[in-house]
Each structure stands twice: as C-alpha cells, then as structure tokens.
Amino acid sequence: MPRPILAESNIHPAIKEVVASHHADIVREVQAAIAANAVVVVGMSQNPMPKRARQSLDQAGIAYQYLEYGSYFNNWRRRNALKNWTGWPTFPMVFVKGTLVGGADDVKRLIDSGEMKKMLA
C-alpha cells in the first residue's frame, strides 16, 4: 500500500526549494551509509531501542554501521527529515541492503526467523 505523500504539484513554487533541501544533509549522510554498508542502524542517544537493535545484531554476529543523531533534547528537527524521508515514525531505523526493515523489535524478529541471514546472503 503506497503511503500518502503531498504531490509536488501541490507545493507552491516559492517554497519548493525549502521543502526539497530541508536538512537534506542528514538524508544524504544516511543514504551514503546505506550505499556503503549492508546493515545500517540510525538512532539517537537516550533512546533504549537503538541500543536494543545493536545488541540483537551484535549477538547474531552481524556487522553494521551505526549513525546517531542527537537526543531527546536536541537535533529533533534534523531527525524529522529522516522520518519524512522514510515514513518510519520512530528510532531506530534499520536498513538491510538498502531496505528499511523497521526498528529494534522488527530486527529481532528477522534474526530469530532466519530472514536476516537470507537478506544478507
């Protein structure tokens, strides 16, 4: 099911550049990490769920790149650019071979079911 995204034709020309470039640096950084690594975990400090995802990957012996952007007290606007880009509402955001697979619980399920090994094969 496709997620609803405001059509570009419904964005006034005077603000299109603002919309397109809003914290684009953080999105480019994550895209570069995804292109260079089989598994990427994007998280934030003080949130226990990114740590849980990393622990699951560590226990399974799966290498990953970890990117951390701020905490509950800062960088939330920059993190919102990632949420807008992916459509995923929470952290961590875990990517496997370029595919967003979800968060910590989703990663654990993929590991436990053997699906993660299939994705990485």
The CATH number assigned to the domain holding 25 equals 3.40.30.10
**Which 3 state secondary structure label does DSSP give 58?**
helix
What mean pLDDT comes out for the span 81-89?
A: 95
Rounded-to-integer distance, Cα 71 and Cα 17, Å: 28
Provide the mean pLDDT of the chain: 96
Quick check: is 112 in a domain? yes
Residue 43: both structure tokens together: 């998280």
What mean pLDDT comes out for the span 49-64?
A: 98
Quick check: is 49 in a domain? yes
Quick check: is 20 in a domain? yes
CA dihedral 115, 118, 120, 121 (to 10 degrees): 170
| pLDDT for the residue 3 | 86
- Confirm if 82 and 96 have CB atoms less than 8 A apart: no
What mean pLDDT comes out for the span 43-64?
A: 98
What mean pLDDT comes out for the span 76-81?
A: 94
Quick check: is 85 in a domain? yes
Q: In the chain, how many domains are there?
A: 1
Nearest to 88 by CA among 60, 65, 73, 107: 107
| 6 φ, ψ (degrees, to nearest 5) | -60, 125
pLDDT in tens, 4-44: 899 999 999 999 999 999 999 999 999 999 999 999 999 99
